[in-house]
């Protein structure tokens, strides 16, 4: 069983911001295979929106924590504990301000590198031994806006198009990791 987390902030105010790229990509993944999911619901018990389903022989849980980014670990650990999912079977899709816009990097057992949502998960799980699908959001050119403000900026129409165009690559990367393993996905997409 895999727990696939999309990171973001709940609410309309944050819906189309850089920090919500994880939510956007998880929705894209779910939308690419609508018949694979049995139930989608908001769960107060897990502080997350969750969908359960299967791809191939693998049972998966898709989740969007509703705890705000910096407290994502609370929802992730609650889900992992309830479903008895090992940290290495937790996969997190999130924004990364250190990667070029529109790029994808898959990493495993890596530090948070300043990402507070990822650090929250590391703290809650007690390990960094989980998989991350990192979506590059680094601003092009010189950016004088503090990171905390930049990640909460609304996406421009051009940014939205770039994210939409990246969606199929994320779907392919996650599916390859599910079917052939994370190493195969890293070799293909990094």
What pLDDT was estimated at residue 75? 97
Q: What is the largest CA-CA distance in the chain?
A: 48
Q: Specify whether 19 is catalytic.
A: yes
φ, ψ of residue 163 in degrees (nearest 5): -65, -45
What pLDDT was estimated at residue 41? 86
Q: How confident is the model at residue 186 (pLDDT cuts 50, 70, 90)?
A: very high
Assign domain 2-189 to its CATH architecture.
3-Layer(aba) Sandwich (3.40)
Selecting among 19, 28, 94, 115, the annotated active-site residue is 19
What pLDDT was estimated at residue 147? 85
Classify residue 182 by its DSSP letter.
Answer: H
pLDDT tens digits, residue range 51-70? 998 887 889 999 999 999 99
Share above pLDDT 90 across residues of the chain, in percent, rounded to a whole number: 79
The b/e string for 6-25 (b: 16+ C-beta within 10 A; e otherwise) is bbbbbeeebebbbbbbbbbb
Which residues face 107 on adjacent strands? Answer: 132
Domain spans, the chain: 2-189
């Amino acid at each position: 069983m895999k727990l696939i987390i999309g990171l973001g902030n709940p609410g309309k105010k944050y819906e189309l911001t850089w920090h919500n790229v994880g939510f956007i990509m998880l929705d894209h993944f779910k939308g690419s295979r609508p018949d694979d999911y049995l139930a989608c619901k908001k769960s107060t018990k897990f502080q997350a929106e969750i969908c359960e389903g299967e791809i191939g022989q693998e049972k998966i849980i898709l989740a969007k924590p509703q705890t705000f980014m910096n407290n994502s670990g609370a929802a992730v650990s609650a889900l992992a504990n309830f479903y008895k999912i090992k940290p290495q079977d937790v996969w997190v899709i999130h924004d990364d301000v250190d990667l070029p816009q529109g790029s994808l990097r898959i990493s495993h057992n890596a530090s948070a590198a300043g990402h507070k949502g990822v650090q929250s998960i590391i703290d809650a799980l007690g390990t960094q031994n989980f998989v991350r699908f990192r979506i590059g959001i680094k601003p092009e050119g010189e950016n004088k806006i503090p990171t905390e403000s930049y990640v909460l900026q609304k996406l421009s129409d051009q940014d939205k198009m770039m994210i939409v165009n990246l969606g199929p690559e994320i779907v392919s990367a996650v599916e390859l990791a599910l079917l052939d393993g994370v190493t195969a996905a890293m070799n293909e997409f990094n």
